[in-house]
Chains A and B, each alone.
Chain A
Amino acid sequence: MSYRTGIIAAEDGKTINDTPLAYRSDFGHLKIDTRPSSKHMGLFDIKPNVPTRTQNAGTDALFDDVFWSIEHNLPFIPKVSLFMLLRDAPATMATMLGRYFGGNLYVQQSVAANESVFMRVDAKTVKLIRRAQSYNIGFPSTNYTTLMQDSLLRVKYMVYSNEASDTPYDTALPYL
């Protein structure tokens, strides 16, 4: 049985019989629990407390370092939004300063060595992760030093009371 209960609102100057409506509460909505106890929304500055790693371009290696996490206490794996403002960073990242990164902050030092910051969401937790990855793709072996441990991020995150997936996921999508 389909229910039509709730609230609808017409667009300015129109009637509720006109379409589209300005608002329909029988449509789903992305929603966020704003109670402080939920921890489903937050804004903070953070310097990732992660180790300085040496990345050897020419060697397959992947390190995921967790530097922040909460328990979301939802009965499913939720959708999240993540926006990061790069407030301070080493000189080699100067062109990225003052820019917002949604879901994933990606730094490429070489075609065979990169670093990224993203969220990982599973059935219990939401975590911020710094990933350092290098590849053996035939390039000469060159060492790079990771950068995010010397950076400052302003993080805004939102955990929605909306299910995302039945499997854990990262907000850094696989390269499309």
Chain B
Amino acid sequence: MGRYGVQISQQGIDVSRAADYQKVLDSNWKFLDIAVEKDVEATYNNATLSPKLIELATHGLGYVPGFEFMVSSSSRTPFDGSDGIYQFLRADNQKIYLSVYNTGTYTVKGRIRVFTVNIMDEYSAPTYGNNSAAPAASSRYGAKFLDLNKGVGDIEDEDMVPFTLNTRGKQMSIHKHGTKVADSTTGTLTLRHEVGYPPTYMLCRVETKSEWPYPYTYPYSTDQVSGPLVSAYYSAKADPYDIEFKGVQSIISGRFGYVILKDPAEIAG
């Protein structure tokens, strides 16, 4: 039975020989789409020792998404300084919040980027490519789509910024995502990815509390996982089939949301 769909490879790459990560579009798997991107700024004075949720943005996806937050500035007084703000950021199935408990004045400014990754869903992409990079040839053939909602640039532009799809560039596709609880005995988190090479990745912490109607998640990061009490730097050991995450200074514990990308950790292409 034939496979139906759309495949577009990077410019100069033969689509019939392209590795999965050399495609800018393949309707057989998910890409790291951005549902919402927004600059936010908030200041909140928590006068009483009690939990509060301050809404930063609405994503409205109906599921708990993976998201990242690029901090421009933040502070927490009386504990002044741009530190610790990531542990106060949360996403549920509708919104992104600043979650506070201790008294003090919290300020945060930055850019939120929400991905169309349903953290609580388990997903594995098929692997069709040979996972060996096809050589790039000089070519003027390709495809590009302007992001008209941005209202900048035109179709003749040479750089990538105005486009939502451009075969002159690379786009990030998802091989696997889901959640898993770290091994409490070893303090590690091991995943079977089977992508065929050590992949790139992102982790976030996921929590479910009885007082919340939905699970919630903290921001993605490639080097730290945050939590209400404990934060931990982590590292990864990966081979073509498995990846193991381990804390650098301490064990990691609890439930984590992960994204394994089709992009290799040791190939730039």
Chain A residues within CB distance 8 Å of chain B: 2-3, 5-7, 9-12, 20, 22-35, 41-43, 74-75, 79, 81-83, 85, 96, 98-104, 106, 108, 154, 156, 158, 161, 163-167, 169, 171-176
Query: B248 an interface residue at 8 Å Cβ cutoff?
Result: yes
Check: B231 CB closer than 8 A to any chain A CB. Answer: yes
Partner of B116, one of A10, A20, A166, A176: A20
Task: Pick the interface stretch among B46-54, B178-186, B233-241.
Answer: B233-241
Chain B positions within 8 Å of A165 at CB level: 70-72, 110-111
Binding site for A on B (CB under 8 A): 3-6, 10-11, 25, 27-35, 37, 39, 70-73, 82-87, 110-111, 116, 145, 147-149, 159-161, 163-166, 168-172, 198, 200-202, 221-227, 231, 233, 235-238, 246, 248-249, 265-269
A154 to B265, CA, bound (A): 10
**Residue of chain A at shortest CB distance from B201:** A102
Q: Contacts of B225 on A, CB cut-off 8 Å?
A: 176
Roughly how many angstroms separate A93 CA and B159 CA in the complex, as a whole number? 41
Question: Which residues of B lie under 8 Å from residue A104 when comparing CB positions?
Answer: 223-224, 233
Known contacts A2-B149, A33-B169; decide if A25 and B236 are in contact (CB<8 Å).
no
**By the criterion CB–CB under 8 Å, are A31 and B86 in contact?**
no
Report the separation of the CA atoms of residues A99 and B265 in the bound assembly, to the nearest whole angstrom: 11
Give the chain A neighbours of B4 by CB distance below 8 A.
12
Q: Can you sample 24 A-B contacts with CB below 8 Å?
A: A7-B145, A10-B27, A23-B33, A27-B34, A28-B147, A29-B31, A30-B32, A31-B160, A32-B171, A33-B168, A34-B168, A41-B170, A99-B236, A100-B236, A106-B223, A106-B249, A156-B265, A156-B267, A166-B39, A169-B70, A169-B71, A174-B86, A175-B83, A176-B86
Partner of A29, one of B82, B164, B224: B164
Shortest beta-carbon distance from B120 to chain A in Å: 14
Instruction: Flag if B70 contacts A101 (CB, 8 Å).
Output: no
Q: In the complex the two chains form, is B165's CB within 8 Å of A9's CB? A: no
Bound Cα distance A104, B236 (Å)? 12
Q: What is the bound-complex CA distance between A164 and B111, given in angstroms?
A: 7
Cα A24 to Cα B170 in complex, Å, equals: 16
Closest CB of chain B to A138's CB: distance in Å?
19
B contact residues around A98 at 8 Å (CB): 237
Given A99-B235, A156-B268, answer yes or no on A12-B28 (Cβ-Cβ < 8 Å). Answer: yes
A106–B248 touching, CB < 8 Å: yes
A62 to chain B, nearest CB (A): 14
Q: Which of B10, B27, B29, B166 has the most CB of A within 10 A?
A: B27
Check A24 against B111 for contact (C-beta < 8 Å): no
Question: Are B73's CB and A167's CB within 8 A?
Answer: yes
A79 to B172 alpha-carbon distance, docked (Å): 13
Partner of B5, one of A5, A12, A34, A74: A12
Chain B residues positioned under 8 Å from A171 (CB to CB): 222-223
Quick check: A29 and B171 within 8 Å, CB to CB?
yes
Report whether B163 and A31 are in contact in the complex, using a CB–CB cutoff of 8 Å: yes
Separation of A102 and B87 alpha carbons in the complex (Å): 19
